[in-house]
Amino acid sequence: MPYIKATMRHIIPIALIFLSFSSFGQAKNNEIESILLDYLTKSYGEQEVDIFKEFDLLEKYLIESKSLKSSSGQSYFDFFQEIAKLNDIPATLDYDRFDNIYKLTPNRFYSVDCFEELKKLDSSTIANSKYKQMGVAIQKAAEDEVSPSNIAKAITSVLGPSDFDKPYYRAIALLTIAYTASPDIGLEGQLLPTQNEDLSSYEVMTVSTTDKNQIILNGKTITQEKLKKKLLEFVQTNKSNHQIQFQADRETSYDFYLRIKEKH
């Protein structure tokens, strides 16, 4: 079994949102949140996506899969505290069910018009909005050490349970979960090479994965279901005299790795 080293290729892309707009943090919280949410909705609407419908589906999925205890703000707050504790995302998504969410990357959530709208706000209304504090906290966390734990701690140092009941921060929380749990976009782990072993006395089956999360068996691409059947046949035929060798490309996502390892 490979040794696993959890690293990050993209650490919570949603953090970029807070950093991008931190200069507008002097304005009223509700004004900022309202403008950002409106433009986020418009951006997805241009892709013919009802993002609130997608959020409802994702939240229901997370609750049914026991990743979230409920739809309360406290549950979301607890979820991010769990990220801080585990230094990982305590959720596994059925990615195909949420393709619409991935139609936009974080850098496309807001248009130029959104920036212009924010510039119109009275910057002297509130000296330290939560949005401003969020940008500062995430920036500091990124400077210290970029990790899921540090980013989650930065978020919960500013937002309390009641904040996650607000539409904008609820939206950001769900986008954060979706993007960091995605093997192609968000949080990823890299795998260290398998140590060499003497396998001469065993019947060996080698399973490998690619950086595109494909499964390769005997030089051919295979589905997870077919792999499961092949592994069962191999074990039944060779009994205890077998060795299943798993080789993962260094860019194989950690989540995909875990799902394949569960097959054997």
3-state secondary structure string, the chain?
CCCEECCCCCCCCCHHHHHHCHHHCCCCHHHHHHHHHHHHHHHHHHCCCCHHHHHHHHHHHHHHCCCCCCCCHHHHHHHHHHHHHHCCCCCCCCHHHHCCHHHCCHHHCCCHHHHHHHHCCCCCCCCCCHHHHHHHHHHHHHHHCCCHHHHHHHHHHHCCHHHHHCHHHHHHHHHHHHHHCCCCCCCCCEECCCCCCCCCCCEEEEEEECCCCCEEECCEEECHHHHHHHHHHHHHHHCCCEEEEEEECCCCCHHHHHHHHCCC
- CA gap 17, 244 in Å, rounded: 44
Rg (CA), the chain: 22
- What is the side-by-side order of every strand in the sheet holding 203-209? 220-222, 215-217, 203-209, 242-248
pLDDT band at 1 (very low <50, low <70, confident <90, very high): very low
Query: Taking CA 131 as the corner, what is the angle to CA 127 and CA 136, rounded to the nearest 5 degrees?
Result: 85
Task: Give CA 36 to chain center in angstroms.
Answer: 21
Is it the case that residue 190 has pLDDT exceeding 60?
A: no
- Determine which of 2-11, 73-82, 201-210 has the lowest per-residue pLDDT on average: 2-11
User: Per-residue pLDDT averaged across 162-173, rounded?
Assistant: 93
Distance of alpha carbon 245 from alpha carbon 239, whole angstroms: 16
On whether the CB atoms of residues 53 and 145 are closer than 8 A, the answer is no
Q: pLDDT band at residue 264, thresholds of 50, 70 and 90?
A: very low
Q: How many CB atoms neighbour CB 160 within 10 A?
A: 13
In this prediction, residue 30 carries a pLDDT of: 79
User: What is the rounded distance in angstroms from the CA atom of residue 223 to the CA atom of residue 172?
Assistant: 33
Most confident of 75-79, 134-138, 203-207: 75-79
Instruction: Using the Cα atoms of residue 232, residue 238, residue 242 and residue 247 in order, give the sign of their dihedral.
Output: negative
Instruction: Determine the pLDDT at residue 227.
Output: 82
Contact predicate 148/32, CB 8 Å: no
The answer to whether the predicted template modeling score (pTM) of the entire model surpasses 0.75 is no
- What is the pLDDT confidence band of residue 151, given thresholds at 50, 70 and 90? confident
Tell me the CA end-to-end span of the chain in Å, nearest whole number.
Answer: 11
Helices 73-86 and 148-158 cross at an angle (nearest 10°) of 150
